Structure 1
């Protein structure tokens, strides 16, 4: 049997942002989990940063990554709750060319098994900007693990069938 492109893993370049007023490199357990998980899956980490819950600093950093043609995926953890300081969705939404509404819906659905109706308190979201996929996750390690293991890892693997985000990259980039 001959190999096809879909038979071979395609490593993606990912940027990772933790949004928190209190976390440091020493205490960023969610960011550390995602860094290890994406690298263990075979992806490349291009940049990892921690920023406070400040809308315009988040937008500036994410905008720089969106403009980088090598960064295909941006994962943001933190700031998706309902407190006054949770502004990640408001910071990121205006940057998106297109929403991926099913991501937030699916994240909340798979979270129900773990945290019950508290999953309603997540404003997880995803979208596309300049051909880069952007995923905004809650800040807890458990939420990041759920998102990675049940949604992101399979969708960022070109071998996942019947479809995945990676196989869409050429088309996403052409449309921009």
Structure 2
């Protein structure tokens, strides 16, 4: 069973938050605000924040810039994960991923099913890794962001979480890029 081992040290991670929306600005970004509040309350650092329109190339470019920034360990995006023609966040993420974390979407769907039933099939939440940085694409609703953070990310981004967590393998995410 998973748990937090209080005897282990907590290592804060540096997290960037990107909202994707054709209709909101930063002042109306409730999902982004929720993620910022949750991550800072957990002891992590807000490394960057932005909002972009649903434009695949612009989203992918921002993700790549943040993945190249040594001051960012994790990127959380919110919005653009649905099925409409303008929902392109998942495609932008996959343009950037070196590896996809398939189980993230699966676990998110299981959690969503408990809250919204079969409507969970309309979300395409995903996670991946690029250039030693974790990326997670979350739906744009505050409820979905709350579920993703409270049920998955707060544990996996906590270095004290057992039996394993994303933080402890962070130093090895880009080992394939290092000179041999």
TM-score (norm 2): 0.93
Number of residue equivalences: 173
The residue that corresponds to 1:92 in the other structure is 93
Matched, 1:49 2:53: no
Q: 3-state DSSP class of the match of 2:143?
A: helix
Q: 3-state DSSP class of the match of 1:16?
A: strand
TM-score (norm 1): 0.95
Distance 1:48 1:143 in 2: 19
Distance 1:175 1:155 in 2: 22
Distance 1:141 1:94 in 2: 25
**TM-superposition CA deviations, 1:84-135 (whole Å, max 9, x none):** 1100011110210101000000000011111000000110000000010000
Alignment of 1:39-78 (within 5 A): 39-78=40-79
The residue that corresponds to 2:33 in the other structure is 32
Distance 2:88 2:129 in 1: 19
The residue that corresponds to 1:102 in the other structure is 103
Distance 2:174 2:39 in 1: 22
The residue that corresponds to 2:141 in the other structure is 140
Q: 3-state DSSP class of the match of 2:146?
A: helix
Distance 1:79 1:139 in 2: 7
The residue that corresponds to 1:16 in the other structure is 17
Alignment of 1:120-139 (within 5 A): 120-139=121-140
Distance 2:105 2:24 in 1: 24
Unaligned stretches of 5+ residues in structure 1:
none
> What is the alpha-carbon root mean square deviation over aligned residues?
1.4
Distance 1:108 1:92 in 2: 18
Q: 3-state DSSP class of the match of 1:26?
A: helix
CA shift for structure 1 position 173? 2.6
